[in-house]
Amino acid sequence: MKKVIFPPLTLLLLCFTINCQNKGNINKENEAKRIPKNEFITKGKYFSYFMRLAETSDMLYLNDSSSFYLMNQSPLKVFHNYQDIYDPYHEFVPVEFDMEIGSFIPPGLNTSYYVHWLLIDSALYLSEIKFFEDPSAIFPFPNLQYSLMEELTQVKFNKEVSEKYHLPNSILSEGGLMPATWVSNVFLIKKTRVVKSREYPEESAESWIKKPCIELVFQKGKLVSMKIKEDMY
Nearest in space to 66 (alpha carbons), one of 178, 181, 194? 194
pLDDT beyond 90 at 220: yes
Domain extent for 218? 40-229
The DSSP annotation for 192-225 comes to PP--S-SSSPPPPHHHHHTSPEEEEEEETTEEEE
Residue pLDDT, tens place only, 94-145? 555 556 778 888 887 667 899 999 999 999 999 999 988 888 888 888 889 9
26 lies in the same domain as 63: no
Do 77 and 21 fall within a single domain? no
Per DSSP, the three-state class of 89 is helix
Q: Considering the domain boundaries, does residue 225 fall inside one?
A: yes
- The pLDDT score that the predictor gives to residue 100 is 76
Mode of pairing for the β-strands spanning 113-120 and 59-62: parallel
Same domain, 155 and 90: yes
Residue 201 neighbours by CB under 8 Å, 6+ apart: 194
**Measured CA distances, 30 to 16, 59, 189 (Å):** 21, 37, 35
Q: 108 and 201: one domain? A: yes
Assigned domain for 123 exists: yes
Per the structure, the count of domains in the chain is 2
Residues 102 and 22 in one domain: no
- 92 close to 110: Cβ distance less than 8 angstroms: yes
Within this chain, do residues 27 and 44 fall inside the same structural domain, yes or no?
Answer: no
| pLDDT score recorded for residue 166 | 72
In a domain, 1, yes or no: no
Q: What is the pLDDT of residue 32?
A: 34
Residue 218, pLDDT score: 98
Do residues 142 and 89 touch, judged by C-beta distance below 8 A? Answer: no
H/E run at residue 163: helix 159-163
Strand partners, 178: 126
On whether both 117 and 17 belong to a single domain, the answer is no
- Per the DSSP assignment, residues forming a β-bridge with 189 are 71, 214
Asked if residue 181 belongs to a domain, the reply is: yes
Co-location of 26 and 80 in the same domain:
no
Residue 3 included in any domain: no
Residues 13 and 89 both lie in one domain: no
Q: What is the 3-state secondary structure (H, E, C) of 4-66?
A: CCCCHHHHHHHHHHHHHHHHHHHHHHHHHHHCCHHHHHHCCHHHHHHHHHCCCCCEEEECCCC
More confident residue, 205 or 28: 205
pLDDT tier, 25 (very low <50, low <70, confident <90, very high otherwise) = very low
- Assess whether 101 and 179 both reside in one domain: yes
Is the pLDDT assigned to residue 74 strictly greater than 90? yes
Are 104 and 29 found together in one domain?
no
